[in-house]
Amino acid sequence: MSDKSETFGEYLQGNGVSRRDFLKFCGMMAATLALPTRYVETIANALASAGARLPIIWLEFQDCTGDSESFLRAAPRSDPLQSNLTDPGVTDLLLDFLSLDYHETVMTPAGAAAEKSLADAMAKYAGQYICVIEGSIPTAQNGAFCTIHGHTALSIARQVTAKAKATVALGTCAWDGGLAAAAPNPTKAVGVKQAVPGVQNLINLPGCPSNVVNLVATLVYYITFKTLPDLDSERRPLYAYGSVIHETCERHPHYLAKEFVQNWGDDAHRQGWCLFKMGCKGPVTRTNCNQVKWIDGTSWPVQAGHGCVGCAAANFWDDLTPIYKSLPPES
């Protein structure tokens, strides 16, 4: 953990990160945020001078911990093939520099001690912390289907978000209920926006799981500009959810040429043709997986040969399954 009195720039220097590598990271953040290159220096100056660690209170409700796993497996650098992966990257160090004051999965305290940690963090950083919510929130029977130390997820979410500077609904479950909200939805699971109507400064980062690069980029934007990035009508950041995957997919030229994979492993599949007829949901899914990718920026599902399942689309478990059923042809 970092010394709270040092700046992030000093922290990077102490961990052997060069100015060049730091600027590469800032360039990657600017590109992810769809900002012109002139903002690279702005981001660099803001991050380097950041001194007070941004407090985070992370809540987990009806979830599979996939978003936490994504968070813990942060991409260490933009060009992993030309670096020593045993060294910490800027992304790792930025996440370590944050003040993760409460997270049930990774914190040491348990039981009453954990509850005290939450109360202490809320009191100490009231109006200053970022609340991250992972998982859906059940509302049936006053929220009784998910309780923590006798308190319902519904009551905890409302209490913690009320004192937060901003709330991040991380992952599809926190956005619209996800798998738990799929029919018949016996727990009446919903996302944060339905469970806490009128929550202030809400930002949705759907995906199953959500890509940690988008969480980092959102935090970088907030640290740099002291506000949230531009959002769409669903309160998703436009930099990540402003475009349909289909439009920039590397297989899109094959779609236009009507060159489709017909069976898994056929010649068309081996040649990288379009996966539309194999059930790819890219034409109706807005997210930037094909730009930020996964596993240290190595690949993403379509590049690896599997169609997009539409996990960042609304109600995808109900509306976009079966996974391997193709969408209706575009008119």
Report pLDDT digits (tens) over 133-148: 999 999 999 999 999 8
Mean pLDDT of 235-245: 96
The pLDDT tens digits of the residues spanning 106-164 come to 888 888 899 999 999 999 999 999 999 999 999 999 999 999 888 999 999 999 999 99
Q: Is the pLDDT of residue 89 over 80?
A: no
Asked which of 223, 240, 257 is the last residue of a domain, the reply is 240
In CATH, what number is assigned to the domain containing residue 308?
A: 4.10.480.10
> Residue 1 domain-assigned?
no
Parent domain of 137? 8-240
Q: What is the CATH number of the domain that holds 235?
A: 3.40.50.700
Is there a domain that residue 324 lies in?
Answer: no
Is 182 inside a domain boundary? Answer: yes
Instruction: Answer yes or no: is pLDDT of 217 > 70.
Output: yes
Final residue belonging to a domain, choices 219, 240, 261: 240
Residues 51-60 as b/e (b if ≥16 CB within 10 A, e otherwise) read eebbbbbbbb
Strands (E), the chain: 55-60, 99-103, 130-134, 137-138, 147-148, 151-152, 166-170, 189-190, 202-205
- The rounded distance, in Å, linking the Cα atoms of 248 and 21 is 28
- What's the mean pLDDT when you consider all of the chain? 90
The answer to whether residues 74 and 156 belong to one domain is yes
Contact of 205 with 169, CB cutoff 8 Å: yes
For residue 283, being part of any structural domain is answered with yes
Q: From residue 64, how far is each of 131, 178, 179 by CA, in Å?
A: 19, 11, 10
* Cα–Cα distance for residue pair 187/173, rounded to 1 Å: 13
Q: How far apart are CA 58 and CA 114, in angstroms?
A: 12
Residue 330 pLDDT: 67
Cα separation values, 63 from 39, 68, 85, 203, 223, Å: 36, 10, 30, 18, 28
> Is the domain of 165 the same as that of 308?
no
pLDDT tens-digit series, residues 16-47: 888 988 999 899 999 999 999 999 999 999 99
